[in-house]
Amino acid sequence: MAQIFHRSANSFSRISMMLVGLLLVVLGLTANELQRSPYWTNQGVRPEQPVPFSHQHHVSGLGIQCQYCHTSVEKASFAGYPPTKTCMNCHSQIWTNADYLEPVRLSYRTNRPLVWTRVHDLPDYVYFSHEIHVNKGVGCQSCHGPVDRMAYMYQHGSLQMEWCLECHRNTAANLRPRSEIYNFAWEGPSMTNSVACGLDPSSPRSEVVCRTAPKPEEAKALVASLNLQGVQTFKDQQSLGEYLQKQYHVRDRYAIMSCETCHR
């Protein structure tokens, strides 16, 4: 029987298979990068809101703490949006005729809440509790970014599973004293900044109290007059975080990295 295909068809078929394989690899890598990109994750995206609210102005400029508006952050899984009454506590007295605040005044007059757009919107199959993270020493800034410098709120992190797991693998890197949870100026221990911590026996749950200073002896002197127990000084975040892990009873990495921790 006569040969149908030329001998060069063998080379052509091999090259074709290699190109198809290469194409599949390129498509896979492209899809992987796409699902990590801001186009897919909305990282850095600032959604439109009913009122142009500036966290930078209210937090840095006026010194209003997070829990004044987000009242449930320490005792519920959600941080909560402030009712219009909270806004009107101030704006019934100041900027009463500002045009951009008319939606707030209309909401107050009609008793209809403002419909805010959620910035950090997790999927329904993910369980997240603000209460747990705040009470275990995770500051607002760790997840929400430099809110005190955001003229308009945007999504700081990717909110992907690997973003959460980066912290769950080493929680010590992101823990701070509970007294500094809302402090965006907090600087942890470093080569130029020492932190001294001890337990306050007079507080209901022997709260950790910390003070910072350039030198270890200076930081220790700041807490000496507070009658604290078990005072220790720290020069790096990892050692401070491991200390807080024990004091706040943070579970080990294997427990908090299990699937059922976030997917219930």
Contact 263, 125 (CB under 8 A): yes
Query: How high is the pLDDT of residue 2?
Result: 65
Contact 186, 176 (CB under 8 A): yes
For the chain, domain boundaries: 55-172, 177-262
In tens, the pLDDT along 45-61 reads 999 999 999 999 999 99
Q: Is 41 helix (H, G, I), strand (E, B) or coil?
A: helix
> For residue 115, which amino acid is it?
V
pTM here? 0.84
Residue 215: CA count within 13 A, CB half-sphere: 3
In tens, the pLDDT along 1-36 reads 567 767 777 777 788 888 888 989 998 888 888 888
- Section 230-240 average pLDDT: 94
Q: Of all residues in the chain, what percent carry a pLDDT higher than 70?
A: 97
Distances (CA, A) of 259 to 112, 168, 256, 262: 39, 12, 8, 6
Q: Is 26 helix (H, G, I), strand (E, B) or coil?
A: helix
In tens, the pLDDT along 77-115 reads 988 899 999 999 999 999 999 999 999 999 999 999 999
- Residues forming beta bridges with residue 190, ordered by sequence position: 193
Residue 37: CB atoms within 10 Å: 11
Query: How high is the pLDDT of residue 50?
Result: 95
User: Rounded mean pLDDT of the chain?
Assistant: 91
Q: How far apart are CA 106 and CA 188, in angstroms?
A: 44
Q: Of all residues in the chain, what percent carry a pLDDT higher than 90?
A: 73
Contact 171, 251 (CB under 8 A): no
The 8-class DSSP code of residue 170 comes to -
